[in-house]
Amino acid sequence: MNVKAARLSVPVSTSDHIEGRADAPVTLVEYGDYECPHCGHAYPIVKRIQARLGPALRFAFRNFPLSEAHPHALAAAEIAEAAALQDKFWPMHDALFEHQTALDDQHLAQYARSLDLNVAKLQAALRSDAPKERVRADFMSGVRSGVNGTPTFFIDGLRFDGDWTNEDAFVEALQSSVS
- pLDDT tens per residue, range 133-164: 999 999 999 999 999 999 999 999 999 999 99
Residue pair 60/12 in contact (Cβ under 8 Å)? The answer is yes
Q: What domains can be seen in the chain, in order of their start residue?
A: 3-176 (3.40.30.10)
Mean of the per-residue pLDDT values of the chain: 95
Q: Is residue 153 within 8 Å of residue 160, measured between CB atoms?
A: yes
pLDDT tens-digit map of 67-89? 999 999 999 999 999 999 999 99
Q: What percent of the chain has pLDDT over 70?
A: 97
Q: Taking a C-beta distance cutoff of 8 angstroms, is the pair 154, 20 a contact?
A: no
Nearest partner of 29 among 65, 63, 61, judged by Cα:
61
Q: How far apart are CA 121 and CA 127, in angstroms?
A: 10
